[in-house]
Amino acid sequence: MDIDDILLYDETLFKNIEAFNPDYIPEHFPHRKSQMEALAICIRPALRNGRPVNAVVLGSCATGKTTAIKKIFEMVEKTSSKVICVYINCQLHTTRFGIFSQIYQKIFGHTPPETGVPFSRIYQNIMQHLSSHDQSLVVALDDINNLFYSKNANKIFYDILRAHEAFEGVKTGVFAILSDIEFRFILDKNVNSIFIPQEIIFNPYNKEEMGNILKERVKIGFYNDVISDDLLDEITEYASSSGDLRVGIDLLRISGNLAEADASKTIEKKHIEEALKSTGSINLTYTLKSLSDDERVLLDIIRQSDNDLTAGDLYNAFNKKINSSYASFNRILNKLEFLRLVDTNFTGKGVKGNSRIVILRFDPEEIQKCMNPL
Ligand SMILES: Nc1ncnc2c1ncn2[C@@H]1O[C@H](COP(=O)(O)OP(=O)(O)O)[C@@H](O)[C@H]1O
Ligand SMILES: [Mg+2]
């Protein structure tokens, strides 16, 4: 087809293309009942004039953390006006002012002026409103790791959690959402004494669960018979081996688009193959971008090694570049494994886990390409 045809072609495979958007909230949310219950239990005291329980929501990418928070907040707001629930995307809002502007907006329906109003005034308005309306506040800080770079996190936790010291009777809580395992090491000791959270773990979906979710998404997003069961299984397989449900959803969207551009009424294997070329590297680039310098150094050593290394060998090589204790090396290695960049297998020999074999889960060249994108 030429360009005009592509743009004007009005047949579509998509019944609801929004179902494949990253911020789409599905009505049906299977496999997350216990996590939703745990969130509800944290909010419950606030519905009865108590203080909400703080929580840390932990889990790797695309395990439904953001969706769960948004759904539970929606449910709370439908049930009661006693709790003000504010969802904040910390990729977009990283400053104290930015975050409190969001809270202000939720309460008053408009953002405060960007200039001329001191932070303390905004803060006071918020807390006085809560106090006089006898409402409590739950702030969800999603992808909170973004606040750690600017070191704003500690102050923001203080601002929210110690509000009751200056404003009597104000009840506040924080849900910190994060796809990282090193959270506990990052907050100040002083914050750790006021933020004692309930941990809510979003474990990775297994293949069958991913299959169910993707099947449902296909039903919502595509017309009937756009994709065969076999090809959907294939997409599930890719999503499951990358450990990232979003890979599956992206593959569906991109291959649907490619099929459409091809004037095909169904998604064919070639569309998936072509879609794969883009999603694999997008996800990898995204993951690699989130690594710290030390994590990159370690990954680089693993990438450049010709044969599989034991954790002990790897530690020696790492220690030559970055003077590091075995414990902090181990934490970095665990992080790489958590992000599913490497696998570690026990050989059964050795002590302290240093005889684990470390295996890169990606093609070394692919890693290099994504680490240094052009
Ligand atoms: N249990 C589930 N049922 C249906 N869709 C889900 C489920 N879990 C995650 N998703 C979908 O996967 C994608 C990623 O979910 P999200 O909540 O953004 O994950 P996270 O915040 O953990 O990275 C979204 O498109 C979401 O709709
Ligand atoms: Mg999220």
Q: Which domains does the chain have, with CATH numbers?
A: 3-18+207-288 (1.10.8.60), 33-201 (3.40.50.300), 292-371 (1.10.10.10)
Nearest CA to ligand 1 atom 8: 64
How many Å lie between the centroid of ligand 1 and the Cα of residue 77? 21
Q: Encode the chain (374 residues) as per-residue pLDDT tens digits.
A: 677 776 667 789 999 999 999 889 999 999 999 999 999 999 999 999 999 999 999 998 899 999 999 999 999 999 999 999 999 999 889 899 999 999 999 999 999 988 888 999 999 999 999 999 999 999 999 989 878 767 788 999 999 999 999 999 999 999 999 986 556 556 777 888 889 899 999 999 999 999 999 999 999 999 999 999 999 999 999 888 878 899 899 999 999 999 998 889 999 999 999 998 776 666 677 778 778 888 999 999 999 988 888 999 999 999 999 999 998 898 889 888 877 788 888 766 655 556 788 989 888 888 887 776 54
Joined together, the tokens standing for residue 157 give 């936790």
pTM, to two decimals: 0.79
How many Å lie between the centroid of ligand 1 and the Cα of residue 213? 9
Nearest CA to ligand 1 atom 3: 29
The CB of 200 under 6 Å from ligand 1? The reply is no
In whole angstroms, give the CA distance from residue 372 to residue 363. 15
Query: Which-ligand-closest: CA of 243?
Result: 1
Query: Which-ligand-closest: CA of 34?
Result: 1
Task: For residue 121, count CB atoms less than 10 angstroms from its CB and return exposed for 0-12, middle for 13-18, buried for 19 or more.
Answer: exposed
What is the pLDDT at residue 350?
56
Give the Cα-Cα-Cα angle 337, 343, 347 (nearest 5 degrees): 125
Closest CA to 111 of 95, 124, 122: 122
Beta-carbon contacts of 288 under 8 Å, excluding residues fewer than 6 positions away, are 296, 299, 367, 370, 371
How many Å lie between the centroid of ligand 2 and the Cα of residue 77? 20
- For residues 128 and 167, the answer to whether their CB atoms sit within 8 Å is yes
Joined together, the tokens standing for residue 185 give 């090491």
Closest CA to 85 of 143, 46, 139, 156: 139
Q: b/e string for 74-89 if b means 16 or more Cβ within 10 A?
A: eebeeeeeebbbbbbb
What is the pLDDT at residue 374?
43
C-alpha 186 chain-centroid distance: 18
The CB of 71 under 6 Å from ligand 1? The reply is no
The CB of 215 under 6 Å from ligand 1? The reply is no
What is the pLDDT at residue 99?
96
Nearest CA to ligand 1 atom 20: 62
